[in-house]
Amino acid sequence: MTGRAVAAERGANGRALHGALKVSRLVLSPVILAGLIALPWYGDFGMQRLLVEVFTLFAIALAWNLLAGYGGLVAIGLHFFIGVGSYALFSISNVLHLNPWVALPFATVCTAVAALISAWPMFRLAGAYFAVGTWVLAEITRIAVLNTGWLGAGAGMPLEMISSFDRWSRNAYVYWSSLAVGAGSLVLTVAMLRSRLGLALKSVRDSEVAALASGVPAIHAKLALWVIAGSIAGTAGAVSYMSTLQVTPDASFSLSWTASAIFIVVLGGIGTVEGPIVGTLVYFALREAFAGFGSWYFIGLGSLAVVMMIGAPGGAWSLAQRFYPIDLFGIRRRMPVAKTHPEAIRS
Amino acid sequence: MATLVETLINGLLLGALYALFGLGLSISLGVMRMINIAHGDLIVAGAYIASVVTQGAGVHALTSLIVVVPVMFAMGWLLQRTLLNHVVGSNVFAPLLVTFGLSVVIQNLLQEVFTADTRSIRAENISQVGFDIGGVSIGLLPLLSAGVSVGLFALTHAIVGRTHYGRQSRAVADDPSTARLVGIDDKNFFAIVTGFALAATAFAAVLYAIRTPFSPTAGPERLLYSFEAVVLGGLGNLWGTFFGGLIIGVAQLLGARVSSGLGPFFGHLVFLVILLARPQGLFAKAAR
């Protein structure tokens, strides 16, 4: 067989695999989703609470990965959005005596506005400076909230309106919100990456100079990404604090949120959509197994991240891709296949 | 009025210490174009090493520098050789994420070995002594810190400007691949640079440990002050970092006069405001 024939065959295999993936995606995802939606009727509160953590942290990791992996915007201060989102939800719901689930979309809008405003100073920094600059942003906001009386200062505030719900519905509603945030952010991410914006971002990521030269509005694409990722993280943070019923500045504006997101993305694979999914599974498996070891668990996790970055910068997903090159969400753009007759290739 | 002058002078002296925090960061940025996220945790690690030496050998805090400086140099050299050389010069996120992981590891190692309690190093003969100059009281320790800071900046400036190492560092900073062509072993050179940066950081660590009680989680805040000093000063401008540190120090102490809990807030605020007005930093070199 000639090289071209091999290539053609591989292309055909790839297309077949692609088709099979499309079918399994159409069949499997509704089944998984239905199973997850029904969970409050068969799972206990502990399981629901764990899954709330899984889904919200997944969304946050997805947001971090969007920024770093697609926009080249490494944000060490992503927890800025967690704090803003959760405080927006709690204060809107408490002050207006609103049902927290009615207040949630307003909290999302608040984080989007916060993203737009914060872009003004932050986008003057690039690369590593942007990374640490966002951390300063999160820190200054934390100190501001810590010193603001009507936000409860250091003690934070409770989510008052949630006490009118009984325990089962409270748990179930928080669980469904987290599922909506997790699944919704995945759908949004895939849709965005398949759109013109996604193409623009990927071209900027691969070569900013070339992208600018071909007329890609790089700065607008990055700004849109910052607002979208910020809103995802803020909403996920708000839902996460719905589950704990109390928000404090030190917990919600904590670097540990961003640290978890970074670990998930680095372990799973930066710059892919599958990476955060794999990473979330690995992260929670490690946590459930080893969190009892306290500091040693974090030492191990940190070392693992360092080793991964040096040895396998593409994360677990890239290791898997070496053996099974699949594209779960159909995001990768392919070269159009030349429409030649098979006989023509063989000769 | 006298108290305002006192706040200003103490702010400048505190700022000189922040500048010294930033010196190591400024060096590694200038030569290797990378920000070490673990920089603050390395300062705190240096403080712990100093406290172990001081207690173990029963020597004065400043005498512990004889041990802490070489130990920190060796740590920097090893760190660069074993880990950081793999990621230097690559994309933006690899060095950031490797040093981020390192930061988590250092913090938790310190917590495991020394517990989460705060510690301090006692050196009453310098930390409790002050002078009264025309109604303005100035402590000996802040004066000493500022003197050490100026001295180390001047030393670094002289090394960069006049020595063979300095010429190498400027060559590598300008164009690493051409520098390699003319025979500079950049990997080994980077290890020496990081060693030097951490040796300078050792001085900052010991002075900080005498001044303030510290705990394993104090690192990130030190990193942010260092970072602000570097960015305010203008990237790649050594003395700029020094003046950037002074600005942060004065802003913090003036802010603390407004409300005692708001010192760091005003430091960050001044940083953001100057960033909006002059994104290239206050003392940036003209673009080439």
The token pair that represents B133 in the structure block: 């100059």
> Taking CB atoms and an 8 Å cutoff, what residues of chain A touch B102?
302, 306
The token pair that represents A126 in the structure block: 């690039």
Whether the pLDDT of residue A343 is over 70: the answer is no
Select the residue of B98, B227, B235 nearest A306 (Cβ to Cβ).
Answer: B98
Q: Which residue of A has its CA nearest to B115?
A: A295
> For residue range A228-252, what is the model confidence (pLDDT) as tens digits?
999 999 999 999 999 888 999 999 9
Of residues A61, A58, A70, the one with CA closest to residue A271:
A70
> Taking CB atoms and an 8 Å cutoff, what residues of chain A touch B275?
121, 124-125, 133
Of residues A261, A281, A304, A310, the one with CA closest to residue A66:
A261
Whether the pLDDT of residue A156 is over 50: the answer is yes
Answer whether B271 sits within 8 Å of A136, measured CB to CB: yes
> For residue range B240-265, what is the model confidence (pLDDT) as tens digits?
999 999 999 999 999 998 888 888 99
Residues whose CB is less than 8 angstroms from the CB of residue A106 and which lie 6 or more positions away in sequence, other chains included: A88, A89, A92
Q: Which residue of A has its CA nearest to B111?
A: A295
Average pLDDT over residues B36-61: 92
A248 membership: H or E segment, kind and range: none
DSSP notation for B246-285: HHHHHHHHHHHHH-GGGHHHHHHHHHHHHHHH-TT-TTPP
Of residues B243, B280, B23, B228, the one with CA closest to residue A125:
B280
Average pLDDT over residues A94-110: 92
> For residue range B181-200, what is the model confidence (pLDDT) as tens digits?
887 887 888 899 999 999 99
Count of CB atoms within 10 A of residue A296's CB? 13
Whether the pLDDT of residue A344 is over 70: the answer is no
Residue B251 contacts A where some CB pair is shorter than 8 Å: no
Query: Do A19 and A117 share a domain, yes or no?
Result: no
Residue A14: per-residue pLDDT: 57
Q: How far is B219 from chain A (nearest CA, A)?
A: 12
Q: What is the tally of structural domains in chain A? A: 2
CA-based angle B29:B255:B272, to the nearest 5? Answer: 40
Average pLDDT over residues A144-149: 89
Residue B262 contacts A where some CB pair is shorter than 8 Å: yes
Query: Domain range spanning residue A274?
Result: 38-346
Helix (H, G, I), strand (E, B) or coil at B139: strand
> For residue range A165-215, what is the model confidence (pLDDT) as tens digits?
888 888 899 999 999 999 999 999 999 988 888 888 888 888 888 888 888
Query: Do A6 and A155 share a domain, yes or no?
Result: no
> Taking CB atoms and an 8 Å cutoff, what residues of chain A touch B279?
124-125
Residue B78: per-residue pLDDT: 94
What's the CA gap between B87 and A47, in Å, rounded?
A: 40
Query: Do A20 and A61 share a domain, yes or no?
Result: no
Query: Do A307 and A168 share a domain, yes or no?
Result: yes
* Domain at B2-277, CATH class: mainly alpha
Averaged confidence pLDDT in chain A: 85
Answer whether A144 sits within 8 Å of B103, measured CB to CB: no
Q: How far is A299 from chain B (nearest CA, A)?
A: 5
ipTM: 0.87
Residue A335: per-residue pLDDT: 62
Q: What percent of chain A has pLDDT over 90?
A: 44
Query: Do A32 and A45 share a domain, yes or no?
Result: no
Whether the pLDDT of residue B151 is over 80: the answer is yes
Answer whether A296 sits within 8 Å of B269, measured CB to CB: no
The token pair that represents B16 in the structure block: 């000189």
Residue B86 contacts A where some CB pair is shorter than 8 Å: yes
Residues whose CB is less than 8 angstroms from the CB of residue A31 and which lie 6 or more positions away in sequence, other chains included: none
Residue B244 contacts A where some CB pair is shorter than 8 Å: no
Query: Do A253 and A266 share a domain, yes or no?
Result: yes
Binned at pLDDT 50, 70 and 90, residue A314 comes out as: confident
> Which residues are B139's β-sheet partners?
B130
Residue B111 contacts A where some CB pair is shorter than 8 Å: yes
Residue A1: per-residue pLDDT: 43
Query: Do A9 and A69 share a domain, yes or no?
Result: no
Q: The domain that contains A181 carries what CATH number? A: 1.10.3470
Q: How far is A256 from chain B (nearest CA, A)?
A: 10
- Tell me the H-state helices in chain B: 2-32, 39-57, 65-82, 93-114, 124-127, 140-162, 164-174, 176-181, 186-211, 219-233, 238-258, 263-277
- Using only C-alpha atoms, chain A has a radius of gyration, in whole angstroms, of 22
Pairwise pLDDT comparison (B183 vs B106), residue with the higher score: B106
> Taking CB atoms and an 8 Å cutoff, what residues of chain B touch A74?
92-93, 96-97
Q: How far is B280 from chain A (nearest CA, A)?
A: 9
Query: Do A247 and A122 share a domain, yes or no?
Result: yes
Q: Are B226 and B22 in contact (CB under 8 A)?
A: yes
Answer whether A72 sits within 8 Å of B92, measured CB to CB: yes
Query: Do A73 and A104 share a domain, yes or no?
Result: yes
Binned at pLDDT 50, 70 and 90, residue B1 comes out as: low
Select the residue of B93, B101, B228 nearest A302 (Cβ to Cβ).
Answer: B101
Indicate the pairing of strand B130-133 with strand A246-247: unpaired
Binned at pLDDT 50, 70 and 90, residue A347 comes out as: very low
Q: Are A56 and A234 in contact (CB under 8 A)?
A: no
Q: What percent of chain B has pLDDT over 90?
A: 47
Say how many CB pairs under 8 Å bridge A and B. Answer: 122
Residue A337: per-residue pLDDT: 61
Binned at pLDDT 50, 70 and 90, residue B274 comes out as: confident
What's the CA gap between A8 and A151, in Å, rounded?
A: 63
Answer whether B35 sits within 8 Å of A72, measured CB to CB: no
Select the residue of A74, A120, A295 nearest B108 (Cβ to Cβ).
Answer: A295
Select the residue of B111, B223, B235 nearest A295 (Cβ to Cβ).
Answer: B111
Residue B287: per-residue pLDDT: 40
Query: Do A21 and A113 share a domain, yes or no?
Result: no
Q: How far is A292 from chain B (nearest CA, A)?
A: 14
Binned at pLDDT 50, 70 and 90, residue A41 comes out as: confident
Select the residue of B102, B109, B269 nearest A140 (Cβ to Cβ).
Answer: B269
Answer whether A303 sits within 8 Å of B105, measured CB to CB: yes
pTM to 2 decimal places: 0.88
The token pair that represents B75 in the structure block: 């740590």
Query: Do A29 and A75 share a domain, yes or no?
Result: no
Query: Do A233 and A302 share a domain, yes or no?
Result: yes
Residue B59: per-residue pLDDT: 86
What's the CA gap between A202 and B36, in Å, rounded?
A: 27
Answer whether A147 sits within 8 Å of B97, measured CB to CB: no
> For residue range A51-84, what is the model confidence (pLDDT) as tens digits?
999 999 999 999 999 999 888 888 999 999 999 9
Residue B276: per-residue pLDDT: 83
Q: How far is B125 from chain A (nearest CA, A)?
A: 35
Pairwise pLDDT comparison (B168 vs A49), residue with the higher score: A49
Residue keyed to tokens 């809107």:
A92
> Taking CB atoms and an 8 Å cutoff, what residues of chain A touch B112?
294-296, 299
Whether the pLDDT of residue B282 is over 50: the answer is yes
> Taking CB atoms and an 8 Å cutoff, what residues of chain A touch B38?
none
Binned at pLDDT 50, 70 and 90, residue B88 comes out as: confident
Q: What percent of chain A has pLDDT over 70?
A: 89
Q: Are A74 and A131 in contact (CB under 8 A)?
A: yes
Answer whether A259 sits within 8 Å of B104, measured CB to CB: yes
Buried b (16+ CB within 10 A) or exposed e, A302-327: bebbbebbbebbbbbbbeebeeeeeb
Please return the burial class of A265, using the count of CB atoms within 10 Å of its CB with bins 0-12, 13-18 and 19+: buried
A39-48, B39-48, B144-153: least confident range: A39-48
